Amino acid sequence: MPEPGGRASAAPLVGGGTEPTLAALSSPGRRAWSLPALDVPARVVELPEAADGLPALPEVSERDLVAHFTRLAHRNFAVDLGAYPLGSCTMKYNPKVADWAAERPGFTRLHPATPAAFSQGALRVLLEAERFLCELTGMARATFQPPAGAAGELTGLLIMRAHHAARGNPRTRVIIPDSAHGTNPASVALAGYEVVPVPSNPRGMVDLAALRRLVDTDVAGLMLTNPNTLGLFEEDICEIARVVHEAGGLVYYDGANLNAILGVARPGDMGFDIVHSNLHKTFATPHGGGGPGSGPVAVVAALARYLPGPLPAEQADGSLGWEMPEASIGQVHRHHGNFLVVVRALAYMLALGGEGLRRVAERSVLNARYLASLIAAEYDIPFPEPCMHEFVASATRLKRETGLRAADVAKALLDRGFHAPTMYFPLIVDEALMVEPTETESPETLEALAGALLAIAKEARDDPAAAHAHPRETPVARLDDASAARRPILTWFTEGP
């Protein structure tokens, strides 16, 4: 059997210690920059509001600058180093061909004010990617303006509001499950709606009876992730959608977990009206340490008139132009969203095609189910239904028997060369560890990851003190978050203790 590959590390190759800031490396008069000399006659320009000094930026050589950021890179874990089973984040392998595509000068050097006649390739990228998203989700049209998932949620909710307002009453409330991502309620509030939580039933699904009691003609709609944040497929989804539709509401699909159902089932066929997807999750664009992402929103035909615009459209002469949907909610991004992220996603989708995308769903579910089965001896999964692409395990038993909490398991995993799962989410599971291995990990890696999780449990029983002391192999040990928040040091201009 093949080996699972080397143990990943975020520790510096040599030296260890801390890395000084650029401010500490700075020396007056040192510089990296160069510019051609001014080749037009210098003139006196009386600028109002002229600066009366130079900004306090560091002064470093290019050599020191490169060494500094390279050393910082060595202090960071990443998908390219090893398994990153961070639940709900879909940290799959990011194909390099997609990065290559996004670096074409024909894309990177294109100014957004370039008229449509001279940016036909860019408009075609948006249309081709839109076709993929609409077929995968069962929707009619899509916008790529939202630059991240939360922006997609807000856009979808504004479309929901516009739909109801056009019928004379924007309505007041939006229902979300108690297991929802924090962005859902935050987006609902920003869209001017009141959040109404619907509880989960003992099987981890939306409590249909409770939903029926909550739905009335003040409810603008329901936001749902399916599979839900417990990694379970909502078995009553068609009935859920019917209940909301019957009261005139709309059903919104949060695409955080779309990976599990690509080519298997489509939100549109389940009764969803609005879908956002995260290109930086499902469609393998890199997360960049926290962005840039892309959160396109797709809608059923009846809602296409409300989409943000302009949208690319075929003209009579066969060329592409921009058109504003007739009842558009307006603009939600400065230009056309995170275009280069869309280029990456298109490269990925073209490479896989329909059959490859369905294989993504199958193998992401296969990997999650397999990993869950390997750790069942020590970690309970509180719900009986088979999981989809991720599962939520609970460290409650371990905590009761050994005192080791979910956070301790996560920190111990870092020492064993893996990134930690998502901890303490969703909020409805005690000591939650949300694990999403993704389809790009091999069975050998999953077995090594399971072996690490079981070894952590064993250490908790054999040597509890050691089990609580992790991590020790990382660039820093556990940090004092409390003092960071009590007396914030947010820049190098603030003196530290």
Residues 172-201 that bind other proteins (CB under 8 A): 181-183, 185-192, 195
Closest of 132, 176, 140, 144 to residue 157, by C-alpha = 176
Out of 177, 439, 448, 467, name the contact with other proteins by CB under 8 A. Answer: 439
Closest of 359, 337, 333 to residue 348, by C-alpha = 359
Q: One symbol per residue from 376 to 415: x for binding other proteins (CB under 8 A), - otherwise; what is it?
A: ---------xx-----------------------xx--x-
Q: How far is CA 125 from the centre of its chain?
A: 22
Cα dihedral across residues 444, 448, 450, 451: positive or negative: positive
CA-to-CA dists, residue 223 to 137, 178, 372, 429, 473, angstroms: 16, 11, 28, 20, 41
Kindly state the smallest distance separating residue 118's Cβ from other proteins, in Å. Answer: 4
Residue with Cβ nearer other proteins (73 or 401): 73
Name which of residues 324 to 353 contact other proteins (CB under 8 A): 329-341, 343, 346-347, 349-353
Kindly state the smallest distance separating residue 62's Cβ from other proteins, in Å. Answer: 6
Q: Is 153 one of the binding residues for other proteins (CB under 8 A)? A: yes
Q: What is the DSSP letter of 206?
A: B
Q: Is 220 one of the binding residues for other proteins (CB under 8 A)? A: no
Phi-psi category of 152—alpha, beta or left, where left has phi over 0 and alpha has psi -120 to 50? alpha
Task: Please answer whether residues 279 and 341 qualify as being in contact, where contact means their C-beta atoms are separated by less than 8 angstroms.
Answer: yes
Residue with Cβ nearer other proteins (401 or 435): 435
Kindly state the smallest distance separating residue 251's Cβ from other proteins, in Å. Answer: 13
Residue with Cβ nearer other proteins (441 or 461): 441
Query: What do you get for the CA distance between the two ends of the chain, in Å?
Result: 53
- The total of other beta-carbon atoms located within 10 Å of residue 53's CB is 5
Out of 48, 168, 202, 318, name the contact with other proteins by CB under 8 A. Answer: 48
Name which of residues 258 to 277 contact other proteins (CB under 8 A): 263-266, 269-270
Q: Is 237 one of the binding residues for other proteins (CB under 8 A)? A: yes
Kindly state the smallest distance separating residue 245's Cβ from other proteins, in Å. Answer: 15
Strand partners, 320: 314
Q: Is 369 one of the binding residues for other proteins (CB under 8 A)? A: yes
Q: Is 167 one of the binding residues for other proteins (CB under 8 A)? A: no
Out of 83, 122, 206, 274, name the contact with other proteins by CB under 8 A. Answer: 122
* Exposure string over 117-133, b if 16+ CB within 10 A, otherwise e: eebeebbebbeebbebb
Out of 6, 13, 14, 57, name the contact with other proteins by CB under 8 A. Answer: 57
Task: Please answer whether residues 426 and 434 qualify as being in contact, where contact means their C-beta atoms are separated by less than 8 angstroms.
Answer: yes
Kindly state the smallest distance separating residue 407's Cβ from other proteins, in Å. Answer: 10
Name which of residues 126 to 145 contact other proteins (CB under 8 A): 128, 131-132, 135-136
Q: Is 69 one of the binding residues for other proteins (CB under 8 A)? A: yes
Residue with Cβ nearer other proteins (400 or 427): 427
Residue with Cβ nearer other proteins (302 or 376): 376
CA 413 – CA 408 distance, rounded (Å):
8
Please report where in the chains the tokens 């694990």 appear, as a residue: 435
